[in-house]
Structure 1
Amino acid sequence: MMIASSTIQRLFAALILFLHAVESDNPKSDQGSVGGCSGVPGIPGSPGHNGLPGRDGLKGDDGMKGAKGDRGDKGAIGKTGPKGSLGQRGSMGPIGIKGGKGTKGNLGERGEPGPQGESGTGNSVINWKQCVWKRNDAKDTGLIQECVFKKRHSFTALKVTYAANMRVACNSGSCCGRWYITFNGAECSGPMTIEGVLRMSNSRDDPLRHRQIEGLCENIPTGSIRVAVHVGNCQRYVSSDRYTGWNSVSRIMIEEYPQSQN
């Protein structure tokens, strides 16, 4: 290894100063000297080579645990591992919120007819029949027409509607005619009769008009019922000239309804 000349000169000067200092501090040197002067120091030799590295020292004791450092940045997401085996089935969770209404499906095939149900108790017709005829009837009193109806249930009432042309005429004073309904020959008593009256006073007119009589009769037994229309006298009136069904269709309409519970 080469050393610069300026460095050598500085080292040499420092060595001379050192030797002078040592000489002045050593009294023996004065006694041994015989009036001579110290010689000039020689040129310093070249530095020696570095020695071999020494052996590792003994391991020291563990130091105290340092304070917790700051949390590091989140690492990159790793690769997805292989699918694990199927675990055991868990317990049933709570019922979810009801979903929205789905789209309407296609119409299914028509099923077989079901068995006939029991008779209802609503306000609907259970059974009905009508009798129609076209006949001019000049009777002043008596039977006009009969219609046989088969009543099916004991808890029902019969509604009867009679419609026809009717008139009563009188030459003087006043006159009255009564048209009424009978069931097996007797008028209704539950709750009252089904009837209609037509009265005229001091008229020679022939007032043929289409008129209608109707009503409900309760507490009629089951089976065949002869429903009939009659014409007769009004109370406190004598017989007069009456006419029924002139040149028009007459009809009796019979309907079986659930009987009222009131």
Structure 2
Amino acid sequence: MKFTLFFISALAFLCLSSSEFLSWENIQDYVTTEPPPKKQPYQSPDCKCVGEPGGKGELGSKGERGPKGELGANGMPGANGMPGANGKTGLKGEPGRDGRHGQNGRLGSRHVVKGARGEKGETGSPGVTPIPQQLNWKQCAQSIGSDKKAGTLLHCFFKKYEDKTSLRVEFGGTIRTMLNTLKKKQSVVCARWYFTFNGEECQPPIDGVVFEGQIGNSHYPHQIGGFCQKTASNKHLKTGTVHIEFRIGHCHHRRPEGIPYLGLDSVSRIIIIEMPPPQE
């Protein structure tokens, strides 16, 4: 340390006595190999003496922002974070399409537990009466010859089984009407044959008429028939015995009846069949 101070004093003396001075770099080669101090000593322009280092100056103002540096290398992957809380329930999605049919299951056991008795259902609409396997029918036949101008020619009693059914009736036989040659004023005659049920005609009537406008005596086979469900007084043919008659009488326009005849050399018959009710 003493040697250093001595060397510095001698160096100052040489600086004052010489017109030229050595630079710090030249002195450095002779003094020491240690690096120079961080701060250069202040040297006055008039005096080339080395003074003591000054105090630390004030902090300068902030400089301008430098240019953006290059992108650094990727860092190491961070550790997994803690699991977050469950989110809110989402909206209901649309129904999916129907899946394929599955395989048939195994046949279950025959033991079935009887469930509780269900409530009584509503009354259904009336059903249609089916045609019975064995028809309820009857035929009344008679070999007669009648020249009545009015009244009953044939009759039959029939047992009806149901209220809602209808009766189909049919007459089969030969009939005739002819001019009365004893009455010269007759030019056209008419006779009417019809059915009655318990003394009343059906609604609508079941009948047939024959007109004759020339002299003759021809007998022809005829069939007169139809269905009856109620009479002219709007009475339904109810269950029980029905008295059916085949009659003759005047035509509605009151023409003369002439000379009628039924059943010449043949059998006359009434056929009766109980049938299901008609369509609505």
Instruction: Please indicate the TM-score interval, normalised by the length of the shorter structure.
Output: 0.5 to 0.7
> Aligned partners of 1:163 and 1:122: how far apart in 2?
28
Aligned to 2:223: 212
2:176 is aligned with 1:167: yes
- Deviation of 1:250 after TM superposition, in Å, equals 0.8
- Deviation of 1:226 after TM superposition, in Å, equals 0.6
The answer to whether the 8 Å contact 2:172/2:222 transfers is: yes
Question: Number of residues paired by the alignment?
Answer: 145
Aligned to 2:162: 153
- Deviation of 1:204 after TM superposition, in Å, equals 1.6
Matched ranges for 1:249-260 at <5 A: 249-260=267-278
> Aligned partners of 1:127 and 1:120: how far apart in 2?
17
Unpaired runs of at least 5, structure 1: 1-92, 97-118
Aligned to 2:206: 194
The answer to whether the 8 Å contact 1:126/1:258 transfers is: no
Aligned to 1:121: 129
The answer to whether the 8 Å contact 2:175/2:263 transfers is: yes
Change (3 A) 1:120 1:134: farther
2:223 is aligned with 1:223: no
> Aligned partners of 2:153 and 2:216: how far apart in 1?
23
Question: Of residues 191, 199, 219 in structure 2, which corresponds to 1:185?
Answer: 199
> Aligned partners of 2:163 and 2:222: how far apart in 1?
31
> Aligned partners of 1:143 and 1:177: how far apart in 2?
14
2:247 is aligned with 1:239: no
> Aligned partners of 2:142 and 2:161: how far apart in 1?
25
- Deviation of 1:256 after TM superposition, in Å, equals 0.4
Give CA deviations for 1:153-186 in whole Å, capped at 9, x if unaligned: 0010000000110000013400000000000111
Q: Quick check: which one's strand share is greater? A: 1
- Deviation of 1:232 after TM superposition, in Å, equals 0.8
Q: Give the 4+ runs in structure 1 shifted more than 2 A.
A: 93-96, 122-126
- Deviation of 1:120 after TM superposition, in Å, equals 6.8
> Aligned partners of 1:209 and 1:239: how far apart in 2?
17
> Aligned partners of 1:249 and 1:200: how far apart in 2?
23
Aligned to 2:151: 142
The answer to whether the 8 Å contact 1:158/1:257 transfers is: yes
> Aligned partners of 1:211 and 1:239: how far apart in 2?
18
Q: Partner amino acid for 1:244?
A: L
- Deviation of 1:123 after TM superposition, in Å, equals 5.1
> Aligned partners of 2:261 and 2:131: how far apart in 1?
36
The normalised TM-score by structure 2 is 0.49
The normalised TM-score by structure 1 is 0.52
Give CA deviations for 1:102-156 in whole Å, capped at 9, x if unaligned: xxxxxxxxxxxxxxxxx97235674111111111111111110110000110010
The answer to whether the 8 Å contact 2:188/2:256 transfers is: no
> Aligned partners of 2:251 and 2:178: how far apart in 1?
14
Comparing 152-161 with 229-238, greater Cα deviation is found at 229-238
Instruction: Give the match's secondary structure for 1:178.
Output: strand
> Aligned partners of 1:183 and 1:249: how far apart in 2?
22
Matched ranges for 1:51-66 at <5 A: none
Change (3 A) 1:120 1:132: farther
Q: Partner amino acid for 1:242?
A: P
> Aligned partners of 2:249 and 2:207: how far apart in 1?
11
Q: What RMSD in Å do the two structures reach over aligned CA positions?
A: 2.1
